[in-house]
Amino acid sequence: MTQSALTSTPSVGGGVSVGPRDSKSYRAFTWFNGTFLVLLCGFMLYPFVTVLAQSFSSAGAVKAGMVNVWPVGFNLTTYKVVIENDLFWSSYKNTVVYTLVGTTIAMVLTTLLAYVLARRALRGRNVLIGLAVFTMFFNGGLIPNYVLIQTLGLKNTMWAVVLPGAISVFNLLVMKSFFENMPTELEEAAQIDGLGWWGIFRRIVLPLSKAVIATMILFYSVAIWNDWFAAFLYLDKQELFPVTLYLRNMIAGASSTASQGAAASGSSTSEIAANIQAVTMILTIIPVLCIYPFVQRYFVSGIMLGSVKG
């Protein structure tokens, strides 16, 4: 760290270099900064680590508060219990289905609209952009949305979970500015070769937009994967619940049984609940953790592109 701090040319990252004069205090700062950031990471990771440790620990150890970063009484029985639970599996399957269907719909709608809005010469473009952007600042609110879903007959169907979020205006704007920044020469060349708008979109624009598409898929799928509220509002049948709602009910149920148990005596239900909760949480997080590293490098640049240009 100190070596590079002494170099006099600024690094690409907009970084600042130092003259030799303040290098001593800067070295101290760098050291402090590094330590601080490492501690911060520990702070960020701690909740994950605890939950992971709890998921492998014995119920008694969790209940007694003995588990911190390392499993106590290591066993896999809780995983077995959760995985053998039919309701957990059907919820998990629902989440997967909702995520796949919802992300597909969202990607088709968002990409199409973003592509059209990126045509600077399109007539009525500003009206369409305004129509979309306005919804960022003003929305219908909980009750009118609820009434709409009810009126459309979407209650207790997966469409209530999957459809309403299909266009996120933020994602739309990020994609739009990505498309706007594409070199126009490519499209012009394609036009000369006789491609129409649809052909350009499919053959030129989409293949060149893998980065932004990957980012948007991550954003949409994570949003649907994590959502519980739409399901909570619109679904009454347990067999339609996504895993987040299953988990929410477990947490809500556990806290009420825990308080009841505290009133009566040490109940075994809340004992098991903490453990099962940990396992369910881990199983719910895992898919997100799995795709995250692969898409991460894309979304950083994607967000930058989208935001810097407004």
Partner 1 sequence: MSAAHATGDVLGTSVQASSGGRVPSSVDGEDPGSKERPRARKIGWRHTLRRDWVLYAMALVPVLFLLVFRYVPMFGNIIAFRRFRAGGSIFGDEWVGMRYVELFLNDPNFWNVFGNTVILGGLTLIFCFPLPIVLALLLNEVRKTAFKRVIQSISYLPHFLSVVIVVGMLMQLLSLQGTVNQIIEAMGGEAIPFLQRAEWFRTVYVGSEVWQTVGWGTILYLAALTTVDASLYEAARIDGANRWRQTWHITLPGIRPTMITLLILNIGLFLNVGFEKVLLLYNPLTYATGDVVSTYLYRVGLVANNFSYATAIGLFQAIIGLVMILTANFVSRRVVGASLW
Q: Considering only residues 262-291, where is the footprint of partner 1 by CB under 8 A?
A: 274, 277-278, 281, 284-285, 288-289
Q: What does the alpha-carbon distance between residue 211 and residue 213 come to, in Å, rounded to a whole number?
A: 5
Q: In the complex, what is the shortest distance from the CB of residue 199 to partner 1, in angstroms, rounded to a whole number?
A: 5
Q: What does the alpha-carbon distance between residue 17 and residue 8 come to, in Å, rounded to a whole number?
A: 6
Binding of residue 237 to partner 1 (CB under 8 A):
no
Q: In the complex, what is the shortest distance from the CB of residue 76 to partner 1, in angstroms, rounded to a whole number?
A: 20
DSSP label of 283: H
Stretch that binds partner 1, among 8-16, 71-79, 96-104, 174-182 (CB under 8 A): 8-16
Which residue in 173, 171, 181, 176 sits closest to 217, CA to CA? Answer: 171
Q: What does the alpha-carbon distance between residue 302 and residue 181 come to, in Å, rounded to a whole number?
A: 12
What stretches of the chain show up as alpha helix (H) in DSSP? 2-6, 23-56, 59-63, 77-83, 86-117, 125-137, 142-151, 159-162, 169-180, 184-192, 197-200, 206-208, 210-226, 229-234, 243-263, 268-308
DSSP label of 1: -
Stretch that binds partner 1, among 18-26, 75-83, 86-94, 206-214 (CB under 8 A): 18-26
Identified binder of partner 1 from the candidate list 104, 168, 226, 257, rule CB under 8 A? 226
Identified binder of partner 1 from the candidate list 28, 41, 76, 100, rule CB under 8 A? 41
Identified binder of partner 1 from the candidate list 34, 60, 153, 253, rule CB under 8 A? 34
Q: In the complex, what is the shortest distance from the CB of residue 74 to partner 1, in angstroms, rounded to a whole number?
A: 18
Residues in region 197-216 near partner 1 by CB under 8 A? 197-203
Burial class of 212 by CB neighbour count within 10 A (0 to 12, 13 to 18, 19+): buried
Give buried/exposed letters for 4-16 (b at 16+ CB in 10 A, else e): eeeeeeeeeeeee
Binding of residue 28 to partner 1 (CB under 8 A):
no
81 versus 204: smaller Cβ distance to partner 1: 204
Which residue in 47, 81, 70, 76 sits closest to 285, CA to CA? Answer: 47
Q: In the complex, what is the shortest distance from the CB of residue 116 to partner 1, in angstroms, rounded to a whole number?
A: 4
Identified binder of partner 1 from the candidate list 83, 229, 260, 269, rule CB under 8 A? 229
Binding of residue 19 to partner 1 (CB under 8 A):
yes
Number of residues that bind partner 1 (CB under 8 A): 114
CB contact at 8 A, 309 and 180:
yes
Residues in region 50-89 near partner 1 by CB under 8 A? 50-51, 54, 63-65, 68
Residues in region 112-171 near partner 1 by CB under 8 A? 112-113, 115-117, 119-123, 128, 131-133, 135, 137-148, 151, 163-164, 166-167
17 versus 156: smaller Cβ distance to partner 1: 17
